[in-house]
Amino acid sequence: MNVTIVDYNSGNISSVINSFKEVAKDKVNIKVTANLKNIKFSDKVVLPGQGSFKSCIDALNNINGLVDTLNEFAIDNKKPLLGICVGLQMFADVGYEETETKGLGWISGKVSKINNENGKYKLPHIGWNQINIVKDSKIYKDIENNSHMYFVHSYEFIPEDKNVISATTDYSSKIVCSIEKENIFGTQFHPEKSDKMGLRIVENFITL
């Protein structure tokens, strides 16, 4: 079993790497690379994301062939892929952080700034928040509803098809905090920073 964490210079992903290695131990081979061949022949792929929507998309596009390889992996071959934070947001058609930027287009929708009701809610939304599981998602096996997860974001993913939403969180409104569509999974929160429940999500993905 090979799980590849895509390292495309989106920011510091050491906590993602450490959490996957901690859960995998010696049973699963964790690779951290943007090598197209390694990604192509992986069993599962993790797409982290830190920074702005535009900076992450630009970083993906700066590696020749990476977007095509990810499309082949997730869309054509339907292998499991997990997007974390901006990694999830990039599934959308378009994002509006910094400027209008085209996303991967895997799940129809947009990424917009959270409505903070004229300063009533602080942005970025940082810290622990409860999640409301609304769909029997594979990554939530043995996760109790209303568990707390750790968030750091100012923008939210708004999918057109609400059936892909697997959990929401209440901040200024009901914010999408995870999705599942066939083999594609994504969390707006950071499972790698969400203590034991977060590590359980990592384990659930690894053992799909």
Instruction: Pick 12 or 138 by higher pLDDT.
Output: 138
* Res. 115 pLDDT band, cuts 50 70 90: confident
Q: Give yes or no for a contact between 127 and 153, defined as CB atoms under 8 angstroms apart.
A: no
Domains and CATH numbers, the chain: 2-206 (3.40.50.880)
Q: What confidence tier does 168 reach under pLDDT thresholds 50, 70, 90?
A: very high
Query: 127, exposed or middle or buried, with CB in 10 Å at 0-12, 13-18, 19+?
Result: exposed
Residues 6+ apart with CB under 8 A from 19: 191, 192, 198, 199, 202
Give CA–CA dist 190/23, Å, rounded. 15
Task: Tell me which residues are annotated as active site.
Answer: 85, 190, 192
Q: Convert 24-53 to b/e letters by CB count within 10 Å (16 or more is b).
A: beeebebebebebebbbebebbbbbbbbbb
Residues ≥6 apart with Cβ < 8 Å to 77: none
* pTM of the predicted model as reported, rounded to 2 decimal places: 0.96
